[in-house]
């Protein structure tokens, strides 16, 4: 398996493909409605809806860094954390899916030299950025699973 193929496999497993580690990011939000996604465990804490948009943003940011694209191309104004309304839940789940597809297409088009090259504006090479977004998806999948259990009362 080539390094690019391996990264694509891991990227997909962390987002929406079956894997040994259990629930991935897409699986963690499957079946959630806007009420469940907007439940907040406490004042000043993030809810699932905000985490979904945050994950979409960072998929965009990694793609942008890999391609050298300038800032400002994300679908929403702002960066990192976004306050969202319940009525936007479905479109934000679609935004996450679109961000994943765009990132995946970018990774599929990389060369092994791109993986070794430091990306502009960072101290990381391409492989580290892709590995980081894989870990980011899995971290937030686990966080969402915990939030769902907390909401259910334990």
Q: How confident is the model at residue 154 (pLDDT cuts 50, 70, 90)?
A: low
For residue 46, the surrounding DSSP H or E stretch is: none
Q: How confident is the model at residue 94 (pLDDT cuts 50, 70, 90)?
A: very high
**Helices 3-15 and 89-108 sit at what angle, rounded to 10 degrees?**
170
Q: Which residue has the tokens 């929403």?
A: 76
Q: What is the pTM of this model?
A: 0.95
3-state secondary structure of 118: strand
Written as six digits, the tokens of 137 are 């998806």
Measured CA to CA, the distance from residue 40 to residue 118 in angstroms comes to 38
- pLDDT-above-90 percentage for the chain: 85
Hey, what long-range contacts does 120-125 have (CB within 8 A, 24 or more apart)? 120/65, 120/68, 121/65, 122/65
Whether 153 shows a pLDDT value over 90: the answer reads no
């Amino acid at each position: 398996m080539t390094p690019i193929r391996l990264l694509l496999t891991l990227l997909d497993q962390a987002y929406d493909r079956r894997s040994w580690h259990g629930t991935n990011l897409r699986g963690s939000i499957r079946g959630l409605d806007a009420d469940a996604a907007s439940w907040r465990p406490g004042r000043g804490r993030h809810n699932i809806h905000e985490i979904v948009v945050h994950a979409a943003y960072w998929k965009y940011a990694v793609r942008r860094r890999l391609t050298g694209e300038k800032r400002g191309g994300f679908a929403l104004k702002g960066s990192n954390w976004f306050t969202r309304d319940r009525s936007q839940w479905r479109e934000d789940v679609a935004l996450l899916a679109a961000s994943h597809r765009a990132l995946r297409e970018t990774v599929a088009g990389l060369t092994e030299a791109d993986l070794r090259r430091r990306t502009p504006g960072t101290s990381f090479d391409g492989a580290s950025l892709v590995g980081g977004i894989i870990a980011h998806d899995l971290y937030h999948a686990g966080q969402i699973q915990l939030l769902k259990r907390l909401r259910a009362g334990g």
